[in-house]
Amino acid sequence: MSPARQPRRTASPRSVDVDQLALASLRRRPSQRRGVQRVRDVLDAFERLLVHKRCDEITMDDLSRTARIQIGSLYHFFPDITSVILTVLERALADEGAAFESRPEDARLDFDGYLEALEHRMTLVWRRHGPLIGVLFAYQRHPLIWKITREQRERTARLVGARLRALAPGIGAARALELGRTVSVVMAVLIDNLEFLPDRERRRLRRETRLLLGRYVAAEGVPVAARSRVKAAVRFDRAGRAGRS
């Protein structure tokens, strides 16, 4: 395997800390290190509890005991359990967004390798926050989560678009943003669904998604791995013959 095809050696995704978040659902934002640590402990406690309890079963008393903070300190920052849930989701979505940030090693990757690196980083994020996937589905239409998701999609679109322009400088900025928006959304949907599929279906979905995205950006002049182009051509040719038969 050539150096351009080794994204598995890339660094783990960066975890976004509490003081980097907007914390829009908190009663008050922590201003001191101790307060930041308490908020962090509450978010971590919620994710630990979610392994053993359903989201709607977790109470503020549960969080107080698990995070080992007084109930008054908990309410000092969080008005209710919904505020905790929204902040936990905000942190997880921020971690996913950080997976799209440019890394020095990305410069050595072709488009197929770049997709593999993105998938690897995003998979690590959602393994870290695994039980939250179901909670995210339940709250994805909440106004705050919807706003965070929309803003993050635009940011990741710009990051992917910048990478595409690095691979194919002839792409205009507006078109690169459009391509980046599609690629980032498709990758997010892919990761959201992979964990729910058996191994065979997971491999098939991963392979087909990469082939489709490779064909999509190749039409705009983005170079993709030769192996991917050959596989894509064979697969789409077979699909076309099957459809005509």
CB atoms within 10 A of CB 152: 18
The one-letter code for the residue type at 84 is V
pLDDT tens figures, 120-155 = 999 999 889 988 988 998 999 999 999 999 999 999
Q: What is the pLDDT of residue 226?
A: 54
Section 150-167 average pLDDT: 96
Helix, coil or strand: residue 158: helix
Q: What are phi and psi of 242, to 5 degrees?
A: -65, -40
The one-letter code for the residue type at 44 is D
Which residue has tokens 């507006």? 174
Would you list the DSSP string of 49-99? HHTTS-GGG--HHHHHHHHT--HHHHHHH-SSHHHHHHHHHHHHHHHHHHT
Q: What is the pLDDT of residue 13?
A: 54
Contact 110/164 with Cβ under 8 angstroms?
no
Q: How far apart are CA 62 and CA 68, in angstroms?
A: 10
The model carries a pTM of 0.82
Token digits for 242? Answer: 């099957």
Domains of the chain (ranges; CATH) run 12-244 (1.10.357.10)
